[in-house]
Amino acid sequence: MGGESVKGAAVKWVSLFSLLSTLLWITGFFIAFHDQAAKHSPPPPAEGIPAMSPKGDDGAFRIVALGDSLTRGTGDETGKGYVGYLADHIKKRTGKKILLRNLAVRGMVSEKLLGQLRLSEVQRQISDADLILMTIGGNDLFQKGKALQIKSQKDVGPVEKKFLRHLDAIFREIRKRNPNAYVFFIGLYNPFSDLAEGKTYSEIIRRWNFAAFETAEKYPRVVAVPVFDLFEIDVNGFLNVDKFHPNAEGYRRIAQRLASLVPLAERKESG
């Protein structure tokens, strides 16, 4: 009898812990997404890098960043995000003046990004860019915090189809405005690998990335950059307290992956 009571108590504690863990993830999602429609002060750019001005003969290297909160740098206590770290790397590597324009918006989905790309000022900045950085798709897939409702691949089928249609139009619009600049399109990672459903989410995200990368490959000078593996081991070590966005170290890892591709953009810019 005593053994059964202890066993029953243990089961209750495990169940309670599991429930609390799930609630923590839901709370993190709420924090991450509930204020996406509000106005946000942009994070500071990389050190010593001014906002981008019209292109001239100044020898500067121009970077335009597009997309969602990952490109905005949300979760990085320094405010730089992968965009800032990469810009610092390019500045140090080349000695050139870096002009950066980060147009990313928290909560951005592919349909909204496509609309942004049709604004005349955005088109001008894209046409002047030497390098374009982009993250998009996380909010489409995770549906503004409803990711925990996804149970299988069939749950994301219609969403994925719509996203891929928008993504194709996004790349087409970018190439129309600037056929020469390299576009580094960064894939999704799995922030839920610690949950019981972690393997299911991993499979869904891998398939999502594969379809998105296939779309990217249709366009010249669009480089699909996987980062799934960077967060696969010890995911919590690279996430912010919201359990969704990267922390400073997570963003540094993304920037390091991109840094290996920078010579491609440099060859284009010098040629």
| Domain spans, the chain | 2-270
Task: Tell which phi-psi region holds residue 233, choosing left (phi > 0), alpha (psi between -120 and 50) or beta.
Answer: beta
Residue 58: predicted pLDDT: 80
Residues 79-128: pLDDT tens digits?
A: 999 999 999 999 999 999 999 999 999 999 999 999 999 999 999 999 99
Cβ atoms of 37 and 107 closer than 8 Å: yes
Task: Tell which phi-psi region holds residue 118, choosing left (phi > 0), alpha (psi between -120 and 50) or beta.
Answer: alpha
Residues 26-70: pLDDT tens digits?
A: 444 444 444 443 333 344 444 444 456 667 668 899 999 999 999
Average pLDDT over residues 172-179: 98
Choose among 94, 83, 76: nearest CA to 45: 83
CA distance 216 to 211: 9
Q: Is the pLDDT of residue 5 over 80?
A: no
CB count in 10 Å sphere of residue 184: 25
Three-state SS across 64-87? EEEECHHHHCCCCCCCCHHHHHHH
Across all residues in the chain, what is the average pLDDT? 83
- Report residue 7 as tokens: 């066993």
Which runs of E-coded beta strand occur in 33-130?
61-67, 98-102
Q: Is the pLDDT of residue 258 over 80?
A: yes
CATH number, domain 2-270: 3.40.50.1110
The overall pTM is greater than 0.85: no
Fill in the DSSP letter of residue 38.
S
